[in-house]
Structure 1
Amino acid sequence: MSLTVAVQMDPIAHINIAGDSTFALMLAAQARGHRLFHYTAEDLNYSDGRVWAKADPVTVQRVVGDHYSFGDPVSLDLGDEADVILMRQDPPFDLGYITATHLLERIAHKTLVVNDPASVRNAPEKVFVLDYPQFMPPTLVTRSLDEARAFLAKHGEIVVKPLHGNGGKAIFKVGSDGANLSALIEVFNTMWREPHMVQAFLPAVAKGDKRIVLVDGEVAGAINRLPGEGEIRSNLAVGGSAVATELTAKECEICAVLGPELKKRGLLFVGIDVIGGEWLTEINVTSPTGIVAIETFDGTDVAGMIWDAIERKVAA
Structure 2
Amino acid sequence: MINKIVAIQGNHPSKLNSETDTSVFLAHEIQSKNYKIFYYDPKDLSVINSKVIASGFFIKFNYKDKKFFKILKKQKLNLTKCKFILIRQDPPFNLEYISATYILDTIKDKVKILNNPTSIRNVSEKLYSARYQKFMPSTIFTQNISEIKNFFKIHKKVIIKPIHSYGGNDIHLLNKFNSKLINQFIKRHDHIMCQKFLPKISKGDKRVFLINGQVCGAISRVPKHGSFLSNMSKGAKPINVQLTKTEHKISKLIAKDLKKENIFFAGIDFIDQKLNGDINVTSPTGLKTLYDLSGVNLAKIFWKELKA
RMSD of Structure 2 on Structure 1 (CA): 1.5
**Which of 241, 245, 255 is residue 245 of structure 1 equivalent to?**
241
Q: Write out per-residue CA displacement over residues 1-26 of structure 1, whole angstroms, 9 at most, x where no aligned residue.
A: 97210110001111110000011011
In 2, are the aligned partners of 1:3 and 1:83 still within 8 Å (CA)?
yes
Partner SS, residue 41 of structure 1: strand
One-letter code of the match for 1:191?
R
One-letter code of the match for 1:93?
F
Deviation at 1:124, TM superposition (A): 2.0
Counting matched residue pairs gives 307
- Provide the C-alpha distance between the structure 2 equivalents of 1:44 and 1:131, rounded to a whole number of angstroms: 34
TM alignment of 1:266-281, pairs within 5 A:
266-281=262-277
Pairing 1:284–2:284 present: no
Which runs of 5 or more residues in structure 1 are unaligned? none
Partner SS, residue 37 of structure 1: strand
- Provide the C-alpha distance between the structure 1 equivalents of 2:154 and 2:121, rounded to a whole number of angstroms: 33
Check 1:131–1:74 CA distance in 2 against 1; reply closer, same or farther (3 A cut): same
Q: Write out per-residue CA displacement over residues 88-122 of structure 1, whole angstroms, 9 at most, x where no aligned residue.
A: 00000000001101111110001000101100011
Pairing 1:13–2:14 present: yes
Pairing 1:131–2:131 present: yes
Name the structure 2 match of 1:93.
Answer: 93
- Provide the C-alpha distance between the structure 2 equivalents of 1:15 and 1:65, rounded to a whole number of angstroms: 13
Name the structure 2 match of 1:113.
Answer: 113
Name the structure 2 match of 1:84.
Answer: 84
What percentage of residue pairs aligned between the two structures are identical?
33
- Provide the C-alpha distance between the structure 2 equivalents of 1:28 and 1:265, rounded to a whole number of angstroms: 26
Q: Write out per-residue CA displacement over residues 253-287 of structure 1, whole angstroms, 9 at most, x where no aligned residue.
A: 11221122221222111100111123342110000
In 1, are the aligned partners of 2:98 and 2:121 still within 8 Å (CA)?
yes
- Provide the C-alpha distance between the structure 1 equivalents of 2:254 and 2:19, rounded to a whole number of angstroms: 30
One-letter code of the match for 1:21?
T
- Provide the C-alpha distance between the structure 2 equivalents of 1:2 and 1:63, rounded to a whole number of angstroms: 27
Name the structure 2 match of 1:45.
Answer: 46
One-letter code of the match for 2:169?
K
One-letter code of the match for 1:284?
N
Q: Write out per-residue CA displacement over residues 59-115 of structure 1, whole angstroms, 9 at most, x where no aligned residue.
A: 111146511111232221112x11100000000000000110111111000100010
- Provide the C-alpha distance between the structure 2 equivalents of 1:104 and 1:239, rounded to a whole number of angstroms: 34
The TM-score with structure 2 as length reference comes to 0.96
TM alignment of 1:1-316, pairs within 5 A:
3-63=4-64, 65-79=66-80, 81-175=81-175, 177-178=176-177, 181-192=178-189, 194-311=190-307
- Provide the C-alpha distance between the structure 2 equivalents of 1:272 and 1:63, rounded to a whole number of angstroms: 31
Single out whichever of 215-224 and 181-190 deviates more from structure 2.
181-190
- Provide the C-alpha distance between the structure 2 equivalents of 1:277 and 1:198, rounded to a whole number of angstroms: 18
- Provide the C-alpha distance between the structure 2 equivalents of 1:26 and 1:6, rounded to a whole number of angstroms: 9
- Provide the C-alpha distance between the structure 2 equivalents of 1:280 and 1:186, rounded to a whole number of angstroms: 24
- Provide the C-alpha distance between the structure 2 equivalents of 1:258 and 1:271, rounded to a whole number of angstroms: 10
Partner SS, residue 267 of structure 1: coil
Q: Write out per-residue CA displacement over residues 207-257 of structure 1, whole angstroms, 9 at most, x where no aligned residue.
A: 211100011011111001111111111111101111111011111111221
Which runs of 5 or more residues in structure 2 are unaligned? none
- Provide the C-alpha distance between the structure 2 equivalents of 1:300 and 1:28, rounded to a whole number of angstroms: 13
- Provide the C-alpha distance between the structure 2 equivalents of 1:145 and 1:262, rounded to a whole number of angstroms: 32
In 1, are the aligned partners of 2:59 and 2:73 still within 8 Å (CA)?
no
In 2, are the aligned partners of 1:158 and 1:198 still within 8 Å (CA)?
yes
In 2, are the aligned partners of 1:52 and 1:75 still within 8 Å (CA)?
yes
The TM-score with structure 1 as length reference comes to 0.93
In 2, are the aligned partners of 1:143 and 1:185 still within 8 Å (CA)?
no
Moved over 4 A (4+): none
Deviation at 1:150, TM superposition (A): 0.6
Q: Write out per-residue CA displacement over residues 160-212 of structure 1, whole angstroms, 9 at most, x where no aligned residue.
A: 1111110001111111x42xx212212212322x2111011111212211100
